[in-house]
Amino acid sequence: MIRLVVTVDCYRIAGTFTISRGSKREAVVVTAHLTDGIHEGRGECVPYARYGETVDGVAELVRSLEPEIAAGLDRAALQKRLPPGAARNALDCAFWDLEAKRAGLRVSALAGLPLPLPIVTAFTLSLDTPEAMAAAAAASGRPLLKLKLGGPEDLARLAAIRAAVPQARLIVDANEGWAEADLERNLAACAAFGVELVEQPLPAGHDGLLGRIARPVPVCADESAHDCAGLAALKDRYDAVNVKLDKAGGLTEALSMVDLAHRQGFSVMVGCMLATSLAMAPAVLAAQTAQVVDLDGPLLLAQDRAPGLRYDGSRVHPPEPELWG
């Protein structure tokens, strides 16, 4: 019989993390622990208010499945039992971890995937003044920077950052923060400053303009893209999709989503919420064929879980079994 324990854990952010919707100083995660008395599997999720989730609500939803898990609910049945979202992510990843440990195999082997390799992750610059973001870009020394934008000074931010780091690769995340009236001007500025990708410039559900204008920079769906079922409807507006396990509802759906997105002609970005290495670990598997990787959550925390993922600068290594998988 498998037992379930759910914990809520807080991790302080190194400084303040700001996007167009607001700021935060800590990452609050929900962790599912599954044990058969010998082996333990873990999965971490980040409830996200943007999608109507709360920490208490997600923790309670996960706990509510304890009798069903004890009675034999497994990872396959979980896909229909819960909708995509944070709660299913925590349990799905915990099931993968437990299955791997019981079998004495890595999750990649169970999933029929090659052994994962180290990958280069973007490093996120929090929304701030042009001067502060330029200074942070220069101090980071990172080859790939993700710029949080979404305000009236965005063009000044782009100019200052590009002047500070002329060789760095840049991607932009507006977090639904641009207005339709500014869209073409902002995309043109991104092209002029060598930005490679722009995430979610307009609010989800109000992004039809993207299908009626020229896009001089590839545009990536984030808040507009959740699971496999919604991909086909995005094809006229987006060039890429950001696959996040918390949106998709776990590694199972994320792997399917990455495959389907490639087959439908999208570029793929694999991203994350602000969380620890336990949340990043399964995403490393999903990110192996992605064109852009954004798994820098632990780099933004004052302290990560131990053991955590190994980062060599911007290179993130696959997890060791002591962490996950």
Question: Known catalytic residues?
Answer: 148, 244
C-beta atoms surrounding 214 within 10 Å: 7
Asked if 211 and 235 count as a contact pair (C-beta separation under 8 A), the reply is: no
Asked if 136 and 128 count as a contact pair (C-beta separation under 8 A), the reply is: yes
Which pairs from 189-195 meet CB under 8 Å and 24+ separation?
189/154, 189/155, 189/158, 190/158, 190/216, 190/217, 191/216, 191/217, 193/158, 193/159, 193/161, 193/162, 194/162, 194/170, 195/158, 195/170, 195/171
Burial class (CB in 10 A: 0-12, 13-18, 19+), 81: middle
Encoded amino acid at 282, one letter = P
Coarse DSSP helix, strand, coil percentages of the chain, rounded to the nearest 5 percent: 40, 25, 40
Nearest to 287 by CA among 119, 175, 164, 87: 119
Compute φ and ψ for 212, nearest 5 degrees: -115, 5
40-65 burial string, b = 16+ CB within 10 Å, else e? ebbbbbbbbeeeebebeebbebbeeb
In the 8-state DSSP scheme, what is residue 104?
A: T
Q: How far apart are CA 245 and CA 221, in angstroms?
A: 15
